[in-house]
Every structure is written in structure tokens, then in C-alpha cells.
Structure 1
Amino acid sequence: MIKAVVFDVGETLIDETRIWSRWAERLGVSSFVLMGALGGMAALDRSHSDAFRLVRPGFDLGAEVAAWERDDPHGPRNEFDAGDLYPDVRDALAAIRAAGYQVIIAGNQPRRAYDALVAMDLPADSVHTSEGWGVAKPDPEFFAKVAAVAGREPAEILYVGDRLDNDVLPAAAAGMRTALLRRGPWGYLHAERPRAADADVIADDLHAILPALRGLT
């Protein structure tokens, strides 16, 4: 029986459209160009960093982030806030929690994302980031930490995310139940792949998670 529901962050809870648009401006290309490049990399199972290098050869992510912070220390840059939440997040998480499930947020995010998520005061029992843990998905240790903070057996956890490679497949390998969310570039692409059938649930939005939970044993 599922007792805890754990949510990824980017394109699960957070709409990254504004972040990618700011990156496009930073790189000197249109949003259309960068998002097209991102979609291409997603289809090829390549990193988003490869999209940056496609439009700016020799691109160094760490150096660019540091330079951006120096240039615009008080701007939003590549960060998110409550205005970037998908519209269904608060109500869906609140309903899941009210139904008696433990709600946890844990995704591949920098440490500063923890502060942003906590400031949103979401209906969640705890918030965790990969940088805070020192390990990132799809490393099995990430999912071991998920189970540890939940205080549950892996089979009692449903992990919800938008990707097969980072979310569904490694969470399932760790013994968890999984939900693949069809939103964001990776979500739509991955839902069409044969291994999407490995997910226990394929959902179009977060409101579909609670009804699906009732069907999982």
C-alpha cells in the first residue's frame, strides 16, 4: 500500500518556461530557438547543456552561471519562485495530503532551490534537493535517501516525475511505484516511448495522482 508520494521539481511542480526564456535572452537567441534546441536534445537523450553548447559553442555552464550572478546579482536569472508553479500544484498536493498520504518534494535542484520551495509554503511534509544531499538522480543513492527521509519501505512510495531516465526507471529499480507526468518536453516525449509502460501511472496533470493512488495496492 502506498503511504508516501514524492514529487520531482522541474516540469513536475515548476513550469520552467520563464527560466528557459531568460536563458535564451542571456545567450542572445530567441526563446523559440533555445526551446527547439532543448526539444531536440530531449529527443536524442542528451543533456540540456548540449542545447546551450549548440547555440554557443564552447559554453561552460558553471562559468556562465557565475558570470550571470555577477552581472545581475538581484535578478531572477535561472531561478524560480511561486509564480512558476503549475496551477494544479497546491490543490493537488493538499488533496493528497488530506487523504492521509505523506507528501515529499525531492528533485535534482541546486541548494538555493530549497529556500525557494520552502518559501512557497507548499502542502508538503519535507523538501529536499540533490545538491543538499550530495547525490543526484538517477543514482540509486538518491532514491535510497528518498526512502530514508520518508521512513518507508520503497514499495510504499510513489515517485512522480516527468522523465523515464531520471524518475520512472531508477525509482522502479529502487523498488518504488512510479507515475510519469505528461508535461514539459521530456514528459511528452517519454510518454510516447515503449518503456513508459513501466510506469504504474501515466498522468496528464497532478489532479490525476490521487485517483490513481486508490487503484495502487
Structure 2
Amino acid sequence: MGGAGREGTGVPLMKQFRAIIFDIYQTLLEDGPGPPNAEARWQTLWKEKLKAVARLTLADFAVACDQAIAREHTSARELGIDYPEIYWPAVACEVLPELGRLPESELAEFLFQYAQIWHTIRLFPYAAELLSSLSKMEVLLGLASNCQPHTLRELDTALGSVGLPFSIFKPELCFFSFIHGFAKPNPHVFRSLFARLRKLRISPAETLMVGDRLDNDIDPARAQGFSAWQLTRLPMDKGQQSGDWNQLATYLNVAMVKSGQR
């Protein structure tokens, strides 16, 4: 990286940003609709993992889970917790007690396969190239995501498909809502990251938050003193701190490694 500067500033990236924290869904991972044969796949999942015929349709399971989640959210809000988060495996086991009898690894596999029924996942174009470049530089990478355990496997799988390890992200700079019981845009999310950065002697101003949503990612990060970049699907006009992955690379003054060059 050397002394290359950010476009138009002459400031080396390592002096400007010592840490970059990414959202996951719709930032690193593109979250699309599920396959058309969802109900058939649900029935197959039951037969393979639970050795039984599904006693709830896919739609009925979703409704029951939504009701359980609403109850948990209500209880948390009554305790003064804004933007509460659930632990998805516990909710699934409440709705389907059969799942609670599975070994932990088999439960995780069931829920991962279930997630693949209702959505499709892939890395955003050029995300791998920029992550590959950044992982070779003296900048710490982290994650801040409203997510569940299967999300981390989805990201690990997507990264692995392009030769990147999940370990490019520093555990101390990773916030996963399912672990803490609250989610973005709760100000405690970025306050927690603020405290962890201070331990590493990194200021919020030296940290860039990259996410797709103003309400969940950009505004809460800026409120805590972070810099922020709103990731968009399409290029944006110059002068705005937002744009697609190519514009983010230009903003950071980082040359992306192209496919086949890793």
C-alpha cells in the first residue's frame, strides 16, 4: 500500500482508516429470493434430518416462528431493550420441539439447509477482490451484522469459494446481534465497537463502517464518530460518501485483485 493516498486528499489509507467494519447482508452477501421448489425441499429436509413427514408446512412454520419472535421482542422491550434480537435456533426449537432432540451439529445443519430454502446467497460482485486486497494490508477488518449463526456459515462458504478465509475478520471487531440480544440500529452496537477499538488504540474517526442502510449502518455509526460509506448497487455521483464496490475501492485508493490473479 505504501504511501498511496485517498483520491483527492493525498492522505495514505493506513493513516486515514486503520479499521474497516462491514455489514453482511446486502453488503458482503447479496440476499436473493429462494428457489421455486421451496415446499418440496422443506419436505425433503424433514425426511433426511428428522426421518419424518413434515407436520407443518413451510408457511405454517414461518407463521409460528414469527409469533414466537414477536413474543420475545415484546418481552425484551418491556425490559427496556431497544431493537431486540432473538437467537434463531432457540426459536426454531420452541416451534418444533423435534429439533431440540438433534445433536448441536445436526441442528445447525438443519437450520442452515432451511435458510437455503427461503433465500439464495452470493458474494456481491467485486467484494472478493477488494477484501482480498485489504486483507494483505495493515488495516483491521471487522463485521457488524444483524444476523444468526447460519449467516456466519453462509459468509464462510461464500468467502471460501473465492479462496478467502473467514479469519480475515478480526474477532475483536465483530458484532453479531444473535450473541448480544440486541441489533442495529441500537446505539449500543456501535458503542460496543467504540470500546473495542479504543482497546486497540484506534479511534472511531480512523474506522470506516461500510453498509447498505442509512438507518441501520450509516447514521448510527456516524452518531458514534465513525466514518461511513453507504454501499449501493449502482454507481453514485462523485462527492458523495456512497457508491458501489468499485467506487469504494477508488475512495480507499486500493487496487482490487482481479479474478484469476489471487
Q: Work out the CA distance in 2 between the residues paired with 1:24 and 1:166.
A: 32
Q: How many residues are paired up?
A: 172
Partner of 1:14: 29
Q: What is the aligned counterpart of 2:244 among 186, 190, 204?
A: 204
Q: Percent identity?
A: 25
2:174 equivalent to 1:139:
no
Q: C-alpha distance in 2, partners of 1:213/1:61?
A: 41
Asked whether the equivalents of residues 161 and 181 of structure 1 are also in contact (C-alpha less than 8 Å), the reply is: yes
Structure ID, larger Rg: 2
Whether the 8 Å contact between 1:95 and 1:210 is mirrored in structure 2 is no
Where does residue 45 of structure 1 map in the other structure? none
2:205 aligns with one of 136, 155, 159:
155
Instruction: Give the superposition deviation at 1:117.
Output: 3.5
Residue deviations 1:131-180, cap 9 Å, x none? Answer: 11332111111001223334322111100000110011111111100100
Offset from partner CA, 1:80-99 (integer Å, 9 cap, x none): 99962224222211212323
Q: Which of these residues, 145, 155, 161, is aligned with residue 107 of structure 1?
A: 145
Q: CA separation in 2, counterparts of 1:156 and 1:165?
A: 21
Check 1:16–1:163 CA distance in 2 against 1; reply closer, same or farther (3 A cut).
same
Gaps of 5+ in 1: 27-57
Alignment of 1:1-150 (within 5 A): 1-17=16-32, 20-21=33-34, 25=38, 61=66, 63=68, 66=92, 73=110, 76-78=113-115, 84-118=122-156, 120=159, 121-122=165-166, 123-126=168-171, 127-150=174-197
CA distance in 2, matches of 1:12, 1:79: 18
| CA spacing shift, 1:60–1:162, aligned 2, 3 Å | same
After superposition, the Cα gap between the structure-2 partners of 1:200 and 1:133, relative to the gap in structure 1 and judged at 3 Å, is farther
**C-alpha contact 1:138 1:167 (8 A) present in aligned 2:** yes
Encode CA deviations 1:22-51: one digit per residue, 9 max, x unaligned: 59946xxxxxxxxxxxxxxxxxxxxxxxxx
**What is the CA distance between 1:203 and its match in structure 2?**
1.6
Q: Please tell me the residue identity of whatever aligns with 1:143.
A: F
One-letter amino acid matched to 1:156: E
Q: Structure 1 pair 115/21, CA: closer, same or farther in 2 (3 Å)?
A: closer
Q: TM-score by structure 2 length?
A: 0.53
Change (3 A) 1:74 1:202: closer
Structure 2 CA distance for partners of 1:117 and 1:180, relative to 1, 3 Å: same
Instruction: Tell which deviates more after alignment, 99-108 or 8-17.
Output: 99-108
Which residue identity does 2:187 align to in structure 1?
P
> What is the Cα deviation at residue 10 of structure 1?
0.4
Q: Is the 8 A contact 1:3 1:156 kept in 2?
A: yes
Alignment partner of 1:10: what SS? coil
- Structure 1 CA distance for aligned equivalents of residues 203 and 37 of structure 2: 42
CA contact (8 A) 2:211 2:218 kept: yes
User: Which whole-Å deviations, capped at 9, do the CAs of 1:160-214 have from their partners, x for residues lacking one?
Assistant: 000110011111111100100113xxxx7xx99xxxx9x9621212x43233135
| TM-score calculated relative to the size of structure 1 | 0.62
| 3-state SS of 1:210 partner | helix
Contact 2:147 2:177 in 1 (8 A): yes
